[in-house]
């Protein structure tokens, strides 16, 4: 069945959707009648054997081209300045022409489920706006060779390579990933996570991210296999490889630093507590009667703030600049003040910086 010349008359459309038909070919004039208005062109779940790609430059406003689930075997190069979405899955495409391919504003490229596909992956380097590359079951295995997938988009979010019988990935086979990119490799035959291949991907996680070397990182530290594949350093210079897992659960209560004056002396835990936030400390709160029956004079006599040793009494509003390892609750005359040593540089934090670029 053909979509013949003049089948749509002189009427122009913003969207043409042809679904579940026996259409095998399309006469260019059937589409070009809408050349100035057409935004969406869909011919899917049909029997389309060829598509007149040469007309795309004459459709200046076309944003979406969906040729899903047809019988295409060859696809000429796609040239379309404004095209944003190109869907070609579930065809029998074996060859895609490379010369003349020009889609600088393409966001989504779906060529999945074409089991004999030979795609000219070099065109990816010119897709600087690409966000999603979807290519499951598209004949990529058994080896992803060096330089095969060279992305050049700062907005790349998804790379789908599932079920391609991939057994080996050579170094730099996939480049141009960003901190926000998800790579799907499920359903392949990969048996070895080699350092030279996967380390650059994992190192992206440790670049310019304020990841604290605290108990929130315990899941990584406790898994030696994964830890070996991640490189970075904490703010104090400690290498990831030197971190040890010694975190525990707060046996008392997680309280904000501003509430430190309500802690029972001797119960404060400031480190290695995995269920408290970095802005909190672990302690047992004083019983209400203990907080109301003691007198300021008694407190001052028993727990005076050792100012001669570098301690200071600060309003609780300034708790963030305290070195929490030196905190002495109730050592000041007022319950609204804290005794501690001031941390140089304000609040102590630990950050992870990449030791070098991937």
Determine the Cα–Cα distance for residues 323 and 156; give it in Å rounded to an integer.
Answer: 42
- Secondary-structure breakdown of the chain: helix, strand, coil percentages, each rounded to the nearest 5: 20, 20, 60
Q: Name the band, by pLDDT with cuts 50, 70 and 90, for residue 303.
A: low
Q: What is the mean pLDDT of residues 91-119?
A: 94
What is the radius of gyration, based on Cα positions, of the chain? 31
pLDDT at residue 349, as a whole number: 31
Domain ranges, ordered by start, for the chain: 2-206, 209-358
Determine the Cα–Cα distance for residues 342 and 231; give it in Å rounded to an integer.
Answer: 32
Please write the tens of the pLDDT for every residue from 168-222.
Answer: 999 999 999 988 888 999 889 987 767 788 777 766 555 544 455 666 667 677 7
Determine the Cα–Cα distance for residues 131 and 113; give it in Å rounded to an integer.
Answer: 19
Please write the tens of the pLDDT for every residue from 113-151.
Answer: 999 998 888 999 999 999 999 999 998 999 999 999 999
pLDDT at residue 322, as a whole number: 77
* 2-206 is classed CATH 3.40.50.300: no
Tell whether the model's pLDDT for residue 350 goes beyond 80. Answer: no
Sheet strands side by side (includes 108-110): 15-19, 40-44, 64-66, 85-87, 108-110, 132-134, 158-160, 182-184
User: Are the C-beta atoms of residues 131 and 155 closer than 8 Å to each other?
Assistant: yes
Q: What is the DSSP letter of 353?
A: B
Q: Give whole-number Cα distances, 229 to 8, 141, 191, 210, 243, in Å.
A: 59, 24, 15, 19, 14
What b/e string do you get for 218-240 counting C-beta neighbours within 10 Å, with b at 16 or more?
bebbeeeeebebbbbbbeeeeeb
- C-alpha triplet 62, 63, 66: angle, nearest 5°: 95
């Amino acid at each position: 069945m053909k979509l013949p010349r003049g089948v749509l008359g002189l009427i122009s459309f913003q969207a043409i959707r042809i679904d579940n038909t026996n259409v095998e070919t399309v006469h260019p004039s059937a589409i070009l009648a809408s050349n100035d208005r057409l935004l969406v062109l869909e011919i899917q779940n049909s029997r389309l054997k060829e598509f007149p790609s040469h007309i795309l430059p004459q459709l200046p406003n076309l944003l979406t081209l969906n040729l899903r689930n047809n019988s295409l075997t060859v696809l000429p190069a796609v040239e379309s300045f404004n095209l944003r979405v190109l869907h070609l899955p579930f065809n029998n495409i074996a060859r895609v022409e490379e010369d003349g391919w020009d889609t600088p504003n393409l966001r989504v490229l779906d060529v999945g489920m074409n089991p004999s596909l030979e795609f000219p992956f070099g065109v990816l380097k010119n897709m600087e706006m690409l966000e999603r590359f979807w290519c499951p079951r598209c004949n990529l295995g058994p080896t992803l060779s060096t330089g095969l997938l060279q992305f050049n988009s700062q907005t790349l979010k998804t790379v789908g390579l599932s079920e391609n019988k991939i057994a080996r990935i050579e170094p730099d086979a996939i480049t141009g990933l960003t901190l926000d990119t998800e790579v799907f490799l499920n359903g392949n035959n990969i048996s070895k996570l080699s350092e030279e291949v996967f380390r650059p991907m994992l190192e992206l996680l440790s670049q310019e991210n304020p990841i604290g070397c605290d108990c929130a990182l315990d899941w990584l530290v406790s898994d030696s296999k994964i830890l070996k594949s991640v490189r970075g350093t904490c703010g104090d210079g400690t290498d990831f490889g030197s971190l040890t897992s010694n975190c525990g659960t707060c046996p008392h209560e997680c309280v904000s630093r501003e509430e430190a004056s309500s802690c029972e002396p001797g119960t404060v835990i400031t480190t290695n507590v995995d269920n408290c936030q970095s802005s909190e400390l672990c302690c047992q709160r004083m019983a209400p009667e203990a907080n109301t029956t003691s007198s300021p004079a008694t407190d001052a006599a028993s727990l005076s703030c050792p100012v001669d040793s570098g301690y200071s009494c600060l309003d609780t509003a300034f708790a963030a600049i305290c070195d929490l390892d030196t905190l002495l609750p109730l050592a000041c005359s007022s319950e609204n003040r804290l005794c501690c040593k001031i941390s140089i540089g304000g609040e102590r934090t630990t950050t992870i910086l990449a030791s070098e670029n991937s």
